[in-house]
Structure 1
């Protein structure tokens, strides 16, 4: 079991993870969701001992990763499928990992067969496709036959057959009683694979519940109703009857109606009493993607103005819970900055006038001595400005002289007349 208690990670003035507590239990596939920049990768790095938390702790089976005896035999992880020497054969790469952990060589051939790379075991990994690299990374995670497995975007680059294989693999590993922790942005895959969800936004916990409860708590079911398109008066009559009965009715772009507050049998009875013919009366149950988008609306830092103008951020049905407002650690402190909400015609990533210039990862000041945001400190003077901010125009040392007015053309000359 993986357990995090009060986990916090700061890089200088930037807080990547804040007071995060959760448990990943064995026997189930636990999905790890959150917008870009929410702290998922940082959390996984702290679980694996690659980053030290600023406060709090995270343990695996009751021990920090660095104190586990022969940790590769107990924990397998895929964080970066490209972390392979391109000149090595796939088999040699796994063989090196096996020898470092005291794993017998026969296990290398076993995992190559499990991931389907037995036919390319003697090929150099630099010639592998993205999907083949993912399979090799999964093989490395399975090498020690561990009881705890962490995967970051395991289906990235895989074809449909590969995605199905990973889905079945995750379920089979969890069915064996292992702890499986999977981070992914593919909601459709998480809906088919995960049993439990941990959702974070801006480094803080948003949800920790099974997938069915998550969808039901973060969505509003409604009924979809359609009347004959050629008879708009029927649609108006039904809308009036449903509203009078206490329902909430919203028109949809395709001419249908979205009805909340009334069960389907009641809608049917009201339509029959009003002598309205129905072309469609169906229940709508929210998907994981809809519930996730609603839950994380307040935790998205980078939002396109085009999406807003195109109407891609649709209004939620009436009576549903508003999206949670996520507080940001450090907000209001000197140097704090987050991208403003998108505005039509605006520049959402420009720094506000007079704000201090941020470092390459959002921290306005220098990081801790000898330590950069992700390990080694950057070179002095490197990337001192926000990479998304528009550079301020430099004032010229001396105003340029006004250009001389062009001479009036002499229309008596043939070339000027042209």
Structure 2
């Protein structure tokens, strides 16, 4: 059994765990839940003697971990699946752990078979996938056949078959009378695996109860009632009768009614007395995820904000707009007139009074002035097209002589 009494851990000004007391009993899978940063990993490290508590104590079987004789034979743990020398094979990794703890060599091959790594036992662990690394970490935890086991996110990276295998493994270990303590963020998996829950938030205990009691205490049970489609009057009649009987009725988006405050037999009797047919009358209980979210909503430190994608379409501040491309810019004969002064038209370039500049717009009406990229013209902002001297003159284009043949032009 694991027992924590007044467990507290501070890192400078930050208190990671404060006055935490709980017991993890044998014969059951105990889930350890809490938001990120709530102190779960710190607590598990103090259980294993990796961190010293600032105050309080935690014992395994009545003794601190560091005082347990041959601790690896009594306690197995998976805290970090990546804590493996990448150059070692899976078998050699387990073999080194076995030799340090006086565990028979045959046990190495046994646990490799248990976790399904017997076919890759001689491969280096640096080539393992995340799921294979998890299996190797679980094998290391099982190596000494311990009576107490701690697992931190044991299904991380596993495929559905691997998750099912871990679930059944945890249950079988607890059924043998072992103490199984599992930390995970997968609520759906905890609901199928754990028998008891310990929930912490911001380093403090929030709940220590069975999973059934936890869901019941942190959710509002209700009944779903549905009348035949199209019988609107019957639905409204039933809603009024249930409200008069002391129930609280809310409409569901699909046309059903959500009823709280009345047991199912009473709802059935009210519908029967009112002559209202029912297509559905079913109880509803919140999931572990819903109950957990309700319990820990005030203990979450990291919350997401709305992604303001619409902000990408807002205009840039003045002076930050890129220059607007102008058709024909950079071609021979191209000329951008300066922005017109207030009430005055643009002046043509010198040397071509009253004539349109030569270039891609020759023979067509002159294009409009390029939009000013710095705001209203005449406000003192620099003109990106202005030059210290007059704009360069385009070379004269000789007029075509219609009396010459095409080849002589």
Question: RMSD of the alignment, in Å?
Answer: 2.4
Partner of 2:150 in structure 1? 150
Contact 1:224 1:257 (8 Å CA) reproduced = yes
Question: In 2, distance between residues paired with 1:155 and 1:248?
Answer: 41
What is the distance in 1 between the residues matched to 2:347 and 2:227? Answer: 75
Give CA-to-partner distance per residue, 1:306-350, whole Å, 9 cap, x none. Answer: 5xxxxxxxxxxxxxxxxxxxxxxxxxxxxxxxxxxxxx97xxxxx
Aligned to 1:82: 82
Task: State the 1:139 CA deviation.
Answer: 0.2
Could you report, residue by residue, the CA deviation over 1:264-287 in whole angstroms, capped at 9, with x for unpaired residues? 122122223333232211111222
TM-score (structure 1 length as normaliser): 0.74
* Whole-angstrom CA distance in 2 between matches of 1:279 and 1:62: 57
SS at the partner of 1:250? Answer: strand
More displaced, 187-196 or 135-144?
187-196
Aligned partner of residue 298 in structure 2, secondary structure: helix
Q: 2:226 and 2:176 mapped to 1: Cα distance?
A: 47
Matched, 1:417 2:352: no
Contact 1:410 1:417 in 2 (8 A): no
CA distance in 2, matches of 1:27, 1:263: 35
Deviation of 1:234 after TM superposition, in Å, equals 2.8
2:288 aligned residue: 288
Match of 1:122 in 2: 122
Aligned residue for 2:266? 266
TM-score computed with the length of structure 2 as normaliser: 0.75
User: Where does structure 2 lack aligned partners over 5 or more consecutive residues?
Assistant: 309-337, 341-345, 349-355, 369-409
Give 2:70's aligned residue.
Answer: 70
Q: How far is the alpha carbon of 1:255 from its aligned partner?
A: 2.0
For structure 1, the residue ranges without an aligned partner over 5 or more in a row are 307-343, 346-405
Q: Are residues 1:224 and 2:228 paired?
A: no
Of 65-74 and 90-99, the range deviating more from structure 2 = 65-74
- State the 1:305 CA deviation: 4.2
Distance of aligned partners of 1:410 and 1:42 in 2 relative to their CA distance in 1, 3 Å threshold:
farther
Match of residue 400 from structure 2: none
Q: How does 1:289-328 map to 2 (within 5 A)?
A: 289-306=289-306
Describe the SS at the equivalent of 2:119.
Answer: helix
Shift in Å, 1:194: 1.2
How far residue 51 of structure 1 moved from its aligned partner, in angstroms, is 1.2
Partner of residue 11, structure 1? 11
Q: Residue 101 in 1 paired to residue 101 in 2?
A: yes
Q: Deviations over 1:351-384 (max 9, x none)?
A: xxxxxxxxxxxxxxxxxxxxxxxxxxxxxxxxxx
- Counterpart of 1:190? 190
- Provide the secondary structure at the position in 2 that maps to 1:292: helix
Give the match's secondary structure for 2:100: helix
Aligned equivalents of 1:42, 1:199: Cα separation in 2:
14
- Deviation >3 Å, runs of 4+: 406-416
Q: Secondary structure at the match of 2:219?
A: coil
- Once residues 83 and 210 of structure 2 are traced to their aligned partners in structure 1, the CA distance between those partners, rounded to angstroms, is 33
Query: Aligned equivalents of 1:187 and 1:122: distance in 2?
Result: 35
Provide the rounded CA distance (Å) in 2 between the counterparts of 1:221 and 1:234. Answer: 24
- SS of 2:8's equivalent in the other structure is strand
Check the 8 A contact 1:86/1:126 in 2, yes or no.
yes
Q: Distance in 2 between matches of 1:301 and 1:257?
A: 36
**In the alignment, does 2:125 pair up with 1:175?**
no
> How many pairs does the alignment contain?
326
How many angstroms apart in 1 are the aligned matches of 2:2 and 2:212?
22
Distance 1:234 1:247 in 2: 17
Partner of 1:22: 22
- SS of corresponding position for 2:235: helix
- Give secondary structure in 2 for the equivalent of 1:185: coil
TM superposition shift of 1:410: 4.6
